[in-house]
Amino acid sequence: MAAVTTVNSANRRRMTSLLGKPWSGVAVLLVFYIALIIVFSVLSPFFLSVRNMLSIGQNIAFVGLMAAAGTPLIIAGGLDLSVAAIAGLTGVAISILQGAGLDIWVAVALSLVIAAGVGIVNGLFTTRLRLNPLIVTLGMMSIVSGLSLVLTGGLTRPMMFPTFNWVGQGRVGGIPIPLVIMAVTFVALWVVLTRTRFGRFVYASGGNAEAARLIGIPVDRTIIVLYVISALSGAVAGIILCAMLGAAAPTSAGQYLLTVIAAIILGGTSLNGGRGSVWGTLLAILILGTLNNGLTLLNVSSFWQDVTRGVVLMLAVSLDQIRTRALGD
């Protein structure tokens, strides 16, 4: 009996250690973020100002939305490469539906329904047909991107409606609306993941899907719901981007897919599933947004910024593998 007690105590200590590691990872990201702010503050007199900080927040908000929703999906063992393409299609759908005579907000609502439909298709192909999510969502990305180009002829369509543009350009108490939406999304997802049964389903599905099924967890349904949430985040991101730009561009969000994936992995979410947190993703998004802003203020070429994003993505994946081996997964 004493031996069993000792083993159980050792197991509890190990679990406590493992659960603590994600938070230690978040602490490392926080230290790096603070260091980045200090460096850019020294190098540029324009960096550390309220206006610039709010500008960073507004510019990363739509990317942060997609990364926030993508975090629980990857924790559950899924992956969505179509989310940025869905953002582009959403703006195109709104412009076409409004041009057909519908009220702008009716067009927005229908675009959300379309996005949810794409998410359901992704989820069904992944769960029912047991296809690799990388292949499914890569194919969906191609379909959605191609459809956006076909519907617009590759052209940008103006979207100048004061109430609609307010979503991307307006402020509440001096805080940009997109930043408020992103903050609410992160808090809501944190509550869902840490305070609800669904959140427990998410971690169990990614940790060991077969074992989760054996104890009655609806793994397939959970993953389908997460694909719908991811697709809807792409749609909301597309609405914000369209409202910010005052135009619907079919390829407006495609370039941000790497940033979304890099932020999720850099934030400590494992590509193998079962581990991650939205706060790590938030810090990673802030780091990437601050990095882009600081390099722009220092007049670093956009080409080098692309190189930087690629390096960060490779670093994020490498860190994920190091974390996985350290935890013995």
Distance CA 119, CA 124 (A): 9
CA 233, chain centre distance (Å) = 8
Cα–Cα separations (whole angstroms), residue 145 to 87, 148, 149, 248, 249: 10, 5, 6, 13, 11
| Residues 30-84 pLDDT 10s | 888 898 899 999 999 999 999 999 999 999 999 999 999 999 999 999 999 999 9
- DSSP lists the bridge partners of residue 247 as 158
Model pLDDT, residue 61: 94
Report the C-alpha gap between 258 and 145 in whole angstroms.
16
According to the model, what pLDDT value does residue 314 have?
77
Query: No. of H helices and E strands in the chain?
Result: 13, 4
What local confidence, expressed as pLDDT, does residue 23 receive?
A: 53
CA distance 129 to 211: 19
What is the pLDDT averaged over residues 174-185? 95
CB of 275 within 8 A of CB of 288?
Answer: no
Which pLDDT value is given to residue 322? 74
Please give the pLDDT value at position 5. Answer: 41
User: What average pLDDT does the segment 202-229 reach?
Assistant: 94
pLDDT at 4: 38
Tell me the pLDDT tens digit for each residue of 269-315: 988 888 899 999 999 999 999 988 998 898 888 788 778 777 777 77
Region of residue 13 (left: phi > 0; alpha: psi -120 to 50; beta: else): alpha
How far is 210 from 188, CA to CA, in rounded Å? 28
Q: How is 228-279 classified by DSSP, letter by letter?
A: HHHHHHHHHHHHHHHHHHTEE-TTTTGGGHHHHHHHHHHTT--TTSS---HH
- Is-contact 71 322, C-beta < 8 A? no
CB 239 within 8 A of CB 108: yes
Q: Are 226 and 72 in contact (CB under 8 A)?
A: yes
Query: Average pLDDT, stretch 186-200?
Result: 95
pLDDT tens across 85-115, in order? Answer: 999 999 999 999 999 999 999 999 999 999 9
The CATH number for 24-326, chosen from 1.10.10, 2.60.40, 2.40.170, 1.10.3470, is 1.10.3470
Percent of the chain with pLDDT over 70: 89
Average pLDDT score over residue span 214-220: 94
Closest residue by Cα to residue 220 from 317, 87, 129:
129
Using a cut of 0.95, tell me whether the model's pTM lies above it: no
Sole residue written with tokens 């944190």: 190
**Tens digits of per-residue pLDDT, 118-170?**
999 999 999 999 999 999 999 999 999 999 999 998 889 988 899 999 999 99
The pLDDT value recorded for residue 10 is: 41
- pLDDT value at residue 255: 87
| Mean pLDDT value across the chain | 87
Domain ranges of the chain: 24-326
Per-residue pLDDT tens over the stretch 17-26: 333 444 556 7
Q: Partners of 157 in the beta sheet? A: 248
Which residues, in sequence order, are CB contacts of 243 under 8 Å at separation 6+?
Answer: 159, 164, 165, 166, 167, 168, 169
Q: Which two tokens stand for residue 235?
A: 């749609």
